[in-house]
Structure 1
Amino acid sequence: MPSSGPEDHVIKSEITRSGPDYVLVKLTPTAVDILKEYGPGAIAGSFPDHRPPPGIRFGIGDTVAVSIFEAAAGGLFIPAEAGVRPGNFVALPNQNVDLNGNITVPYAGQVKANGRTPVDIQRDIVKAIGNRAIEPQVVVSLITQNTSLISVLGEVKTPARLTANAAGERILDLIARAGGLAGPGWESWVTLERGGKRATVPFGALMYQPANNVWIHPGDTIYVYREPQVFLAFGAFTIGGNFGGQAQFPFDMWKITMAQAMAKAGGLIDAQAEPAGVYVYRREPRELVERLGVDCSKFTGPLVPVVYNADFRDPSGFFLASKFEMRDKDVLFAANAATVDTTKFLTFVQAVVGTANSTIVAANNAQILRINSRQ
């Protein structure tokens, strides 16, 4: 008989004819709790160091200012007639860290600046001129940042390379400095790249799961893009007012549950659906599937095809469905009840018999017309 998908008993047998092998996992309170631990938390898991970023260090091309103080006049930088000038310090002209990573200080020569903090540079300058100047003190400050930058790109209002803040900032702080999102938050995704490593989460995961809103380091790249999350519904759902069919539905929020997804698809068809045969198809990380108590020895690779089964003949099934979170591109399928095939078969037999009866009646009528025409 024609059907919109596999029969319920075929799915539960875990037998596949041509596609990849899969595992069937029945939704239970334990399974749902384990799945919640593997929600959209990729950034927190990929960048587990939650300490604030290290202090800003100078790099090649940065503009640096150096001020040198002496305790009294008549020293190396303050002349004996210092009374005619204000202050007991001299401000050197601003200079860039050169290609060798150095700056130049009179009487101290070349001082290494690349990759170092202001305190490191100050200490070296004081050490170099300490035996010539009168109790020297040095202040080194960053005038223009050209290396400690953070790139914020994509679907933000003002994409730019932003200077790192010495106080430290998190992902949402940088997105705010770039003008905020250019589109709705529920269809926005954020990728953080650092040192060749990257992780992506929905924007909502930054707002509602603070662990994902990690500290940003100089040199990081934040990329924001828009991709509406969707799920696909097949089988015995009342889709678009029709009895059965298939459609793609947007989440229209940063996450939805299985119960919400079923409602979006119009709910189960009372006269067609098998309430114990509602399934969600997706691929899961191997370690998650093993935690669910499944033997994954027959599978290769990091992802395992999984079919989750919810039983809505059990009243508690709706509580589980309201906690089971859908993922982007999930396939939601409602199998037909076993009696549907019987109904289809009887309808087919009725159509065949009806066609045969119509043919016989038409033949009899034709025979009668021939007899009448001879008379």
Structure 2
Amino acid sequence: MDSQATVKVESVDRKVGIDYALVDINKTVLAYADKTVNSSLSGTFGGGRGGPPQIVLGVGDVVQVAIFEAQSGGLFIPADAGSRPGNYISLPKQTIDREGNITVPYAGKVKASGRPVDQVQLDIASRLANRAIEPQVVISIDQSRSMEASVLGDVKTPKKIELSPAGERILDLISEAGGLSAPGTETTVTLQRRSRSVTVPYDVVSKTPAENIYAQPGDTLIVNRERRTFLAFGVTGESGRYDFDDSNLTLGDALAKAGGLLDDKAEPQAVLVYRIVDKDFLHKIGVNTQGFTSKDVPVIFRANLRDPSGFFMAQKFPMQNKDVIYVSTSPSVEFLKFLTIVNSATSSASNIADTRRSIRNR
């Protein structure tokens, strides 16, 4: 192969040159391993507890203002209006402009965007107090364009959803969009809010009440089907790529899916999991990271299944999407390979000597 290559590029000693950390799976690692599996909606945005977010007016909302006076003969109600069903007028519907204002006669431009309805009502009433007779103001929202959240991706009916004062949570939005169009175990939920974005598995949101946070105006929820898999190589029952089929897959479960370890060939002391982790995780478990310049660090987690406690560790160590499991070969197998080679060489030499004797005897 080398002799036929037009150009040959080799590393020194044929090493790839990627720095990595080797970490034994122990109690300290397990204490933080669960926290590295998923990001958190509640941890990033809050909103998992307490009441729903306050509904405020926004640019683009269409509102109608009604002004009541205590009696006729005031600013808006003429003196001859005694036959009317009520001492009020309804102003024409108007859209909150780009500056966030609405216009009310004799009150001028009133700031509406970013304020709850009751505050705007009181503001208008106070501006009219010196002209109208005990004015009262009621604002009704005809179209709420600013109080919407979008649901996109692998749902049955992607749409914009108007948020109500009662408050909608993440699962409420997905439900209003028709529900998932893919299995929950293969689905992730990405919440984009202002300049931040967090992705979590759907099963985490559905099984953890604190993660089912309230939606806020302007949120974009992207539901995405993502096939979560891991690779198994080395001395396992069957190497290959496997689906998780479970949001809480552990190393023990993954080894079982791959057929376990071959008893006569595998080295139980060297069950390895290859993964890229955040440098902060290594800080937490006491690993010196000065030798790594990047925030993401290649890590090999090693499980020792010769130690009985290693099986408990394997059953608690959580797998992540795109992990690679490698089970190394037992040293005894390598020794047997060596003996086989030696035996083969010895047999070949013996056969050659026998052949030469046979020729001479002829």
**Cα offsets for 1:19-53 (capped at 9, x unmatched):** 32222211222321221233313323322465656
Gaps of 5+ in 1: 1-14, 240-245
Return the alpha-carbon distance in structure 2 between the equivalents of residues 99 and 28 of structure 1.
58
SS of structure 1 residue aligned to 2:217? coil
SS of structure 1 residue aligned to 2:248? coil
Residue 111 (1) aligns with residue 104 (2)? no
**Cα offsets for 1:3-27 (capped at 9, x unmatched):** xxxxxxxxxxxx9933322222112
Cα distance 1:354–1:83, how it changes in 2: closer, same or farther (>3 A)?
A: same
Return the alpha-carbon distance in structure 1 between the equivalents of residues 154 and 287 of structure 2.
40
Return the alpha-carbon distance in structure 2 between the equivalents of residues 97 and 47 of structure 1.
28
Residue 337 (1) aligns with residue 330 (2)? yes
Return the alpha-carbon distance in structure 2 between the equivalents of residues 180 and 19 of structure 1.
47
Match of 1:62 in 2: 61
Match of 1:86 in 2: 85
Kindly indicate whether the alpha-carbon contact (under 8 Å) linking 1:41 and 1:212 is maintained by their aligned counterparts in 2.
no
Match of 1:6 in 2: none
Shift of residue 354, structure 1, vs aligned partner: 4.7
Match of 1:75 in 2: 74
**Cα offsets for 1:135-167 (capped at 9, x unmatched):** 110001211011222111111111112112222
Superposed counterparts of 1:336-355, under 5 Å:
336-355=329-348
SS of structure 1 residue aligned to 2:235? strand
Kindly indicate whether the alpha-carbon contact (under 8 Å) linking 1:41 and 1:205 is maintained by their aligned counterparts in 2.
no
Match of 1:242 in 2: none
Match of 1:302 in 2: 295
Return the alpha-carbon distance in structure 1 between the equivalents of residues 52 and 193 of structure 2.
12
Match of 1:150 in 2: 149
Residue 255 (1) aligns with residue 254 (2)? no
Paired amino acid for 1:291: K
Superposed counterparts of 1:215-254, under 5 Å:
215-239=214-238, 246-254=239-247
Kindly indicate whether the alpha-carbon contact (under 8 Å) linking 2:39 and 2:198 is maintained by their aligned counterparts in 1.
no
Match of 2:305 in 1: 312
Return the alpha-carbon distance in structure 1 between the equivalents of residues 42 and 350 of structure 2.
71
Paired amino acid for 2:125: V
Query: Which of 278, 281, 286 matches 1:288?
Result: 281
Q: Percent identity?
A: 45
Decide which moves more: 330-339 or 164-173: 164-173
Kindly indicate whether the alpha-carbon contact (under 8 Å) linking 2:53 and 2:214 is maintained by their aligned counterparts in 1.
no
Return the alpha-carbon distance in structure 2 between the equivalents of residues 259 and 286 of structure 1.
25
Return the alpha-carbon distance in structure 1 between the equivalents of residues 99 and 25 of structure 2.
62
Shift of residue 306, structure 1, vs aligned partner: 1.4
Query: Which of 32, 36, 39 matches 1:38?
Result: 36
Decide which moves more: 133-142 or 358-367: 358-367
Decide which moves more: 104-113 or 178-187: 104-113
Kindly indicate whether the alpha-carbon contact (under 8 Å) linking 1:65 and 1:140 is maintained by their aligned counterparts in 2.
yes
SS of structure 2 residue aligned to 1:192? strand
Return the alpha-carbon distance in structure 1 between the equivalents of residues 267 and 254 of structure 2.
17
Kindly indicate whether the alpha-carbon contact (under 8 Å) linking 2:228 and 2:243 is maintained by their aligned counterparts in 1.
yes
Match of 1:243 in 2: none
| TM-score, length basis structure 1 | 0.86
Return the alpha-carbon distance in structure 1 between the equivalents of residues 358 and 139 of structure 2.
111
Match of 1:10 in 2: none
Return the alpha-carbon distance in structure 1 between the equivalents of residues 249 and 181 of structure 2.
23
Return the alpha-carbon distance in structure 2 between the equivalents of residues 250 and 174 of structure 1.
28
Paired amino acid for 1:17: K
Return the alpha-carbon distance in structure 2 between the equivalents of residues 113 and 219 of structure 1.
17
Match of 1:321 in 2: 314
Return the alpha-carbon distance in structure 1 between the equivalents of residues 123 and 270 of structure 2.
74
Paired amino acid for 2:296: L
Kindly indicate whether the alpha-carbon contact (under 8 Å) linking 2:271 and 2:326 is maintained by their aligned counterparts in 1.
yes
Shift of residue 367, structure 1, vs aligned partner: 8.4
Shift of residue 176, structure 1, vs aligned partner: 1.3
